[in-house]
Structure 1
Amino acid sequence: MSMDVTTIGFTKTSAEDFFGRIRAAGVKRVLDVRLHNTSQLAGFAKSEDLAFFLKTICGAGYVHEPLLAPTEEIMTAFKKEKGDWNVFQNDFLGLMAERKVEDHFKAEEFDGSCLLCSEDKPHHCHRRLVCDYLNGKWGGKLGIRHL
């Protein structure tokens, strides 16, 4: 049985579009996979505000899950030092393996969830890597859709 998981980024979008996509997808819970959830990139994406908006607008819960986020060092090397995506990807996949994140969760916990990060597209974003990694560990149980 497939667990339906979505992912979304909040940059380069309006609050109306962001919450509209989450509501239309029927998301039950947003898993915030950012290391720091108090970003100034979008006012509506700060943790306390986001939890309120998700509940009020979408009827969805909110959980910050830094275990599924890269370390400060990995992010700095990629973002601030304009590092190579392949290096970031290998470092982050290695980190998830080291953390054994697949042992901290069950696939069923992801059903109806949406992984949140800042990147507008999933191509070069760790939320996609999280889904791909867990799907590999869990035998393809996650049906993944990027909003």
Structure 2
Amino acid sequence: MSIDVTTIGFTKTTAEDFFSRVRAAGVRKMIDVRLHNTSQLAGFAKSDDLAFFLKTICGAAYVHEPLLAPTEEIMTAFKKEKGDWNVFQNDFMGLMAERKVESHFRAEEFDDSCLLCSEDKPHRCHRRLVCDYLNGKWGGKLSVRHL
């Protein structure tokens, strides 16, 4: 049984485009995998506003899941200190293994969900790494599409 999961970033897009993509994908639950979800810089993606917009526009639930976010130290080393992506990737994958995130969730909980982060593209974003990690632990059950 395949579990349909999407991912999305909110930067470099308009609210109209963002919510149109989410609605068209049939997302029932947005899983926010950001460490910080209340920054003024997040605009329409601040946690309380996002929860309201998702419910009103898309009929979707909102959940913040910091267990699927990097630590402040890992983020600082990569973003602020302009660290190497491969180091970030190894550190974050190690963190998820240390946290044993696969044991905190069931694959079915991700069905028709969308993992949210800030990066506009998934290539160098931890939301993709979360999906890769969980797929490795759950035998490839997740069918992932990046919006």
Distance 2:100 2:39 in 1: 27
One-letter amino acid of the structure 2 residue matched with residue 143 of structure 1: S
Query: After superposition, where does 1:119-134 map in structure 2 within 5 Å?
Result: 119-134=119-134
Q: CA offset at residue 40 of structure 1?
A: 2.8
How many residues align? The count is 147
State the percentage of identical aligned residues.
88
Aligned equivalent of 1:75: 75
Q: Which runs of 4+ in 1 moved over 2 A?
A: 39-42
SS at match of 1:42: helix
- Asked if 1:8 is matched to 2:5, the reply is no
Distance 1:42 1:20 in 2: 18
TM-score normalised by L of structure 1? 0.99
Aligned equivalent of 1:98: 98
Tell me how large the CA RMSD over aligned residues is: 0.5
Aligned equivalent of 1:49: 49
Q: Would the aligned equivalents of 1:9 and 1:119 in 2 still touch at CA under 8 Å?
A: yes
Mark the runs of 5 or more structure 2 residues left unpaired by the alignment.
none
Mark the runs of 5 or more structure 1 residues left unpaired by the alignment.
none
SS at match of 2:11: coil
Distance 2:38 2:122 in 1: 20
One-letter amino acid of the structure 1 residue matched with residue 71 of structure 2: T
SS at match of 2:57: helix
